[in-house]
A and B are shown apart, each in its own frame.
Chain A
Amino acid sequence: MSFSEKTIGTNAISLAMKLGQVVYTLPQHHYSELLKDLFIYCVPLYVNDDVIGYLVLCRLNDKIEIELKMLADLTAYKLINELKQKKLNSSLLGDRNHNMTKKELEILKHMASGLPEKVIASKLNISINTVKYHKKLIFKKLEVECTAQAVIKCMKLNIMSISDIDC
């Protein structure tokens, strides 16, 4: 379904598309009979001065109170923030080719907790040589030389957080 002006007539989304701002329309503002019972609140989603989409709140026969509008504004803000964070994480991981496997991440978390190789091997039910092999790969992928550097780099790149480490 399209909310463009040419498809469904005047509505909050088509107006927000034209004006690039938050728009709240009442039933009497809508051109089409299809929207005659709706109250629509539309928030443009801006990322770096570009509108990437719209978050819209619709209500049938009841006006949209200020509290709901504020909640919609906050939801749009959260949506954009989480999108930025996810894009940043994926670009950091992708561009720098640090794609760590699940196993490597698991080993790295144990390393960060200060567990010796022997204990990690026993915890994961693998041989100590396998742990050493994975460590080598982790260091290579992250372009670091020791466990401390690997942990710091993973935190900087948001691959791992403090809460992932058992101390």
Chain B
Amino acid sequence: MTNLQPVDEIIASWRRCINYGVDKSANVINTGINEVVLQKELSKNKILGSIFDEIGGDFEELSSVKNVVLLLINSEGLLLKKNAVGN
């Protein structure tokens, strides 16, 4: 069975974050991603995005828990779409 919480990798990731100088206490994310890049990625993943929109409703119907958010992320880690379930 897959280990869903890979502790060794989490520790290694924290080390890398310290080395990269990632701001631990930042309140705002500086994405460095402009609108053109985002639109290009959305267009590249147009079919996936439209299916994600349709499926969001199915998820909401099936889930008894309402305070969750579904996200669609591209292969590079960029947020493409979000779908809030319930409140």
* A contacts, CB < 8 Å to B: 1-10, 13-15, 17-19, 21-26, 29, 31-34, 41-42, 45, 51-60, 62, 64-65, 67-68, 71-72, 75, 78-79, 82-83, 86-87
| CB proximity of B26 to chain A, nearest CB, Å | 7
A14 in complex: contacting residue of B13, B59, B62, CB < 8 Å: B13
Chain A residues with Cβ below 8 Å from B30 are 7
In the complex, the answer to whether B73 meets A54 with C-beta atoms within 8 Å is yes
In this complex, what residue of B is CB-closest to A68? B65
* B contacts, CB < 8 Å to A: 2, 4-6, 9-10, 13-14, 16-17, 20, 22-27, 29-33, 45, 47-48, 51-52, 54-55, 58-59, 62-65, 67-80
In this complex, what residue of B is CB-closest to A21? B2
Chain A residues with Cβ below 8 Å from B22 are 5-9, 31-32
Considering the chains assembled together, what is the distance between the CA atoms of A58 and B35 in angstroms? 24
In the complex, the answer to whether A22 meets B14 with C-beta atoms within 8 Å is no
Chain A residues with Cβ below 8 Å from B6 are 15, 19, 23
Chain B residues with Cβ below 8 Å from A86 are 47, 51
In the complex, the answer to whether B47 meets A83 with C-beta atoms within 8 Å is yes
| CB proximity of B20 to chain A, nearest CB, Å | 5
In the complex, the answer to whether A5 meets B48 with C-beta atoms within 8 Å is no
